[in-house]
A and B are shown apart, each in its own frame.
Chain A
């Protein structure tokens, strides 16, 4: 265990940024999101949840796959370079780190998505324990410990110090880069904070929500349930839940003609949109009820069925906070679970 005085955090950021780009929560125009550190950036470690998850670091909202050049009839293809330099994502919370592990199951499964794989290979995660979990948090239900999150380095923020604990080889290597700035610390230094976080978590209304009955089984029974018809009604199909979600991975592939080459890019898409599955011979999910059902069935039934029971939800609660219709995955879990019956 190491530590650094919070008055020296800027030196730490600068030291990290000297060797690689550093992404961390930055406040801009009143909103905190992950962004690249610069000397004049307003770093915000106090806001518990960035508006969007840290998903962009590994699976950007929009990225080029290749550029297609046309010379008369002749086409040539120039693939986009993959991530080659290492980078650090600092301040990821336990839910977002697990979110990346959920995305790994998708993008690193055969056939591997090289664009994602290269980012994961070169990305170093410095996670941060959640000193003040909020009402909408329910990561505990998915076995996530926000008092000691996963990551290459785990950190804790107290009134005076940032405590720093390397966990993986990547984490050790990063620690060696900034060793001059770190002092030795006792593991016990954060035990009080960890206990306080655990106590706070226990008091959260949804921390212990039961996922009983949600697994890959009884797929058709859940699919055919009349509950969906009641649950989906307030849904506006805005897609906000999918865009703030750390695990939503649906994407679109499109071409943009720049006038000097046609860029093939992919960008986040949403299964909540009416044209998501539209094709020439029709649409297999043509009602909002079907699309709403798809999102939750995927997260709580289809995904676990394919991934040894791992849910495609990490309980970050962003969809709970951001849905304009106050709909969310908690309502779905409860409606089907024993609490709803």
Chain B
């Protein structure tokens, strides 16, 4: 992306600080506080090509701008989607928007999950909590759309309640019906009408007792990551087998504004995807 000539500044490379206009073409209410937005450029299609795990800056002009993971897979050739939780000034505003409203989008930013290298040919275990399914959905759908390139897939996904499970329709209709894919859902507390597992993700992870012949991809709130990492290691996983993402405040997206600097890394540029042994080398400031 960065090598294209800039359309607004001729003679210079593509300027990643200047966004494109995006039109919201679809909104799905996933949970009481999560909506999935389909956003397209005015001419339709995608803003750019991306890889699973990469992010984009979405802005409501005059309100604010923030980094969001691109939840749709690159194998979706038609459009790009973002699952966004209502939890601040910008996301409150995004949740008030309607189909047809316009925002701005710039990206893609950051590295990606190593779908074409480290994950290829392996059995995969995806572990997600709450809204953190958003970045993993991109990888999972990429893997399922290239099914022959990967081994068995297990997906462990938990949330506070049954109402807080994101992308439930796709999980039930697509993921659960794909060959060699097992989906395990869990919620924090018992709830009427819920027949599945009840308990925190790390506890359920231990109960499921996966063998170590697989790569784990872990995404969730910091506390869940901490305990899942502990559980995985007790189960015999090496840190080199576990991938996760970091999330820090970002403004520029290109490793210059200083916000997401941690050690000698910039999470917006060198991350957000890290292998757990790489995270160990960083100062404990995330």
B256 touches A106 (CB 8 A): yes
In whole angstroms, what is the CA distance A75 to B254 when docked? 24
Can you list 15 A-B pairs, Cβ within 8 angstroms, ordered by A? A79-B8, A113-B256, A223-B283, A224-B283, A251-B257, A251-B258, A262-B61, A264-B61, A269-B257, A277-B249, A280-B88, A281-B87, A281-B222, A284-B262, A302-B263
Q: Does B93 contact A (CB under 8 A)?
A: no
Residues in A neighbouring B6, C-beta threshold 8 A: 114
Which range holds the interface residue count of chain A? Answer: 35 or more
- Give residues of chain A (98-156) contacting chain B, Cβ–Cβ below 8 Å: 106-107, 109-115, 117-118
Q: Does B176 contact A (CB under 8 A)?
A: no
Expressed in whole angstroms, the minimum distance between the Cβ of B1 and any Cβ of chain A is: 8
B249 touches A279 (CB 8 A): yes
Residues in A neighbouring B254, C-beta threshold 8 A: 111, 113
Q: Does A179 contact B (CB under 8 A)?
A: no
Residues in A neighbouring B102, C-beta threshold 8 A: 73-75
In whole angstroms, what is the CA distance A277 to B247 when docked? 11
Q: Residue-by-residue, is A42-78 near B (CB-CB < 8 Å gives 1, otherwise 0)?
A: 0000000000000000000000011010100111110
A285 in complex: contacting residue of B255, B257, B285, CB < 8 Å: B285
Expressed in whole angstroms, the minimum distance between the Cβ of A163 and any Cβ of chain B is: 36
In whole angstroms, what is the CA distance A191 to B224 when docked? 66
In whole angstroms, what is the CA distance A302 to B282 when docked? 11
Chain B contact residues: helix, strand, loop or mixed = loop
In whole angstroms, what is the CA distance A264 to B104 when docked? 12
B285 touches A252 (CB 8 A): no
Q: Does B251 contact A (CB under 8 A)?
A: yes
Residues in A neighbouring B100, C-beta threshold 8 A: 73
Q: Does B236 contact A (CB under 8 A)?
A: no
Residues in A neighbouring B249, C-beta threshold 8 A: 276-279, 284
- Give residues of chain B (115-145) contacting chain A, Cβ–Cβ below 8 Å: none
Q: Does B164 contact A (CB under 8 A)?
A: no
Most buried by A among B63, B222, B252: B252
- Give residues of chain B (226-284) contacting chain A, Cβ–Cβ below 8 Å: 247-249, 251-252, 254-259, 261-264, 281, 283
Q: Does A250 contact B (CB under 8 A)?
A: yes
With A284-B286, A305-B264 as known contacts, state yes or no: A277 contacts B12, CB within 8 Å.
no
Expressed in whole angstroms, the minimum distance between the Cβ of B269 and any Cβ of chain A is: 9
Residues in A neighbouring B252, C-beta threshold 8 A: 251, 253
Q: Residue-by-residue, is A187-205 near B (CB-CB < 8 Å gives 1, otherwise 0)?
A: 0000000000000000000
In whole angstroms, what is the CA distance A112 to B15 when docked? 8
Q: Does A257 contact B (CB under 8 A)?
A: yes
Q: Does A321 contact B (CB under 8 A)?
A: no
B18 touches A117 (CB 8 A): no
With A111-B16, A276-B249, A279-B248 as known contacts, state yes or no: A68 contacts B283, CB within 8 Å.
no
With A253-B252, A298-B261, A305-B264 as known contacts, state yes or no: A66 contacts B9, CB within 8 Å.
no
Q: Does B174 contact A (CB under 8 A)?
A: no
A117 touches B259 (CB 8 A): no
Residues in A neighbouring B61, C-beta threshold 8 A: 68, 70, 75, 255, 262, 264
In whole angstroms, what is the CA distance A269 to B100 when docked? 35
Q: Does A166 contact B (CB under 8 A)?
A: no
- Give residues of chain B (1-33) contacting chain A, Cβ–Cβ below 8 Å: 2, 6, 8-9, 12-21
In whole angstroms, what is the CA distance A294 to B262 when docked? 8
B9 touches A219 (CB 8 A): no
A76 in complex: contacting residue of B12, B21, B286, CB < 8 Å: B21
User: Chain A: which residue is nearest B246 at the CB level?
Assistant: A284
Residues in B neighbouring A297, C-beta threshold 8 A: 283
B2 touches A110 (CB 8 A): yes
In whole angstroms, what is the CA distance A79 to B19 when docked? 9
Q: Does A341 contact B (CB under 8 A)?
A: no
Q: Which 10 A-B pairs have the closest CB atoms?
A: A250-B258, A79-B8, A305-B264, A68-B61, A111-B2, A280-B88, A223-B283, A75-B102, A302-B264, A279-B249
A114 touches B13 (CB 8 A): yes
Q: Does B65 contact A (CB under 8 A)?
A: yes
Q: Does B101 contact A (CB under 8 A)?
A: yes
Residues in B neighbouring A317, C-beta threshold 8 A: none
Q: Does A20 contact B (CB under 8 A)?
A: no
Q: Does B62 contact A (CB under 8 A)?
A: yes
With A65-B17, A113-B17, A249-B256 as known contacts, state yes or no: A75 contacts B12, CB within 8 Å.
no
Residues in A neighbouring B257, C-beta threshold 8 A: 250-253, 266, 269
User: Chain B: which residue is nearest A79 at the CB level?
Assistant: B8
In whole angstroms, what is the CA distance A223 to B281 when docked? 12
Residues in A neighbouring B65, C-beta threshold 8 A: 253, 255
Q: Does A306 contact B (CB under 8 A)?
A: yes
A280 in complex: contacting residue of B13, B87, B222, CB < 8 Å: B87
Residues in A neighbouring B262, C-beta threshold 8 A: 284
A294 touches B18 (CB 8 A): no
Residues in B neighbouring A109, C-beta threshold 8 A: 255
In whole angstroms, what is the CA distance A74 to B23 when docked? 9
In whole angstroms, what is the CA distance A73 to B21 when docked? 11
A107 touches B256 (CB 8 A): yes
In whole angstroms, what is the CA distance A323 to B189 when docked? 53
B12 touches A252 (CB 8 A): no
User: Chain A: which residue is nearest B67 at the CB level?
Assistant: A279
Q: Residue-by-residue, is A313-324 near B (CB-CB < 8 Å gives 1, otherwise 0)?
A: 000000000000
With A79-B9, A114-B15, A253-B251 as known contacts, state yes or no: A280 contacts B91, CB within 8 Å.
yes
Residues in A neighbouring B15, C-beta threshold 8 A: 79, 114
Residues in A neighbouring B255, C-beta threshold 8 A: 109
A255 in complex: contacting residue of B13, B63, B101, CB < 8 Å: B63
